[in-house]
Amino acid sequence: MKQLKFRFSILTLAFVAGNCFAQAPFKLSKSIAIGGAARWDYLFVDSSQHRLYVSHATQTEVIDTKTDTLIGIIPDTAGVHGIAIANDLNIGFTSNGKDNTVTVFDLATLKVRRSIAVGTNPDAIIYVQQSHRVVTFNGRSNDATIIDAKSGKVIGNVAIGAKPEFAQLDNAGNIYFNIEDTNELGILDPIAMKITARHSLQSCDSPTGLARDNQQRFYSVCKNKMMIVSAADGKQISQVAIGAGADGVAFLDAYALSANGADGTMSVVSEMSQGKFKTVATIATAIGARTIDADVNLHKLYLPTANFTASKDGERAQGIPDTFRILVLEKQ
């Protein structure tokens, strides 16, 4: 996922405060202090086991979502971007962008089992239980690497020809993924190992985060402060204005929720009538909180962030070490 440039001002804070709705369905309840490097990317919640996996620079933290406490660390995941979990095989996977590998770890002990070489800068990663395949979407080699999850062997690579971003499954085990530099929603068949469709995301500039609801509708968040809602056949259903700097989106309790890192807000999008969506609330989170995931069983949302130095003269604000934390939002 992309890094964002943050600029701080009284006007920004006023915007955040002035756009928070009184009847917002979620509220910020706590913050889980982690510390260490102020670098991170995706979160992954395994709701069935109440575990939150946090990509954090060179390691991956594991948090119990029932108590919101740190219970373990998976080390040596250099430049980790994403996490995928195979509960049926008792193993998990991280995509490590700095050394172009996937780390395979034991779910019970969190000990590393093996490392698998994949494409260049593996970013999003997803496990397909129907086919027991793991797929990484590689941001610099512009392809996807397909791995047999049981053996840990690479089966092959699928050329995309553009930069893939976040991915989600449909009910049949097909993988939907955003394509950032062509503004498309792609569909990959992990068994046939081919892309079966590419759909234009009209009015979307640089789609990154992607979520899915129970009706197999897909929610893409875009650089130009838009959320695009697409049907499983790629048809665009709706487009909704959201906050700035969204890099992640989750779906929880009938709401699509975008993490707007540049604004320090979360946009709450709801279907008002059939096929018509609207942002119904804007909730203050924190500057930098740009990725998100949900424990759907506990009705909690998690957004990582840190404190930043003030940006000036066009320079990007820098994360302050030992301020890294996870924001927790709960249903009101």
Residues ≥6 apart with Cβ < 8 Å to 42: 1, 55, 81, 82, 83, 124, 166, 248, 291, 293
Judge whether 78 lies within some domain: yes
The pLDDT value given to residue 20: 46
Q: CA 329, CA 68: separation in Å to the nearest integer? A: 11
Judge whether 176 lies within some domain: yes
Judge whether 3 lies within some domain: no
Judge whether 4 lies within some domain: no
The pLDDT value given to residue 40: 98
The pLDDT value given to residue 15: 42
Number of CB atoms found within 10 A of residue 315's CB: 11
11 forms beta bridges with none
Could you give the strand order of the β-sheet that contains 101-106, starting from the edge strand earlier in sequence?
80-86, 91-96, 101-106, 112-117
Judge whether 22 lies within some domain: yes
210 forms beta bridges with 220
Domain count across the chain: 1
pTM of the model: 0.93
The pLDDT value given to residue 4: 54
- DSSP for residue 64: E
The pLDDT value given to residue 123: 98
CB environment 252-277: b (16+ within 10 A), e (fewer): beebbbbbbbbbbbbbbbbbeeeeeb
The pLDDT value given to residue 5: 53
Q: CA 4, CA 66: separation in Å to the nearest integer? A: 31
Q: CA 258, CA 30: separation in Å to the nearest integer? A: 19
Q: CA 223, CA 197: separation in Å to the nearest integer? A: 23
Could you tell me if 179 and 193 are in contact, meaning their C-beta atoms sit under 8 angstroms apart? no
Tokens linked to 110: 């969190």
Judge whether 2 lies within some domain: no
pLDDT in tens, the chain (332 residues): 655 555 544 344 444 444 444 478 999 999 999 999 999 999 999 999 999 999 999 999 999 999 999 999 999 999 999 999 999 999 999 999 999 999 999 999 999 999 999 999 999 999 999 999 999 999 999 999 999 999 999 999 999 999 999 999 999 999 999 999 999 999 999 999 999 999 999 999 999 999 999 999 999 999 999 999 999 999 999 999 999 999 999 999 999 999 999 999 999 999 999 999 999 999 999 999 999 999 999 999 999 999 999 877 777 889 999 999 999 999 98
Tokens linked to 133: 């395949």
| CATH number of the CATH domain containing 223 | 2.130.10.10
Judge whether 26 lies within some domain: yes
261-318 confidence digits (pLDDT tens): 999 999 999 999 999 999 999 999 999 999 999 999 999 999 999 999 987 777 788 9
217-248 confidence digits (pLDDT tens): 999 999 999 999 999 999 999 999 999 999 99
The pLDDT value given to residue 17: 40
Judge whether 174 lies within some domain: yes
Name the residue range of residue 183's domain. Answer: 10-331
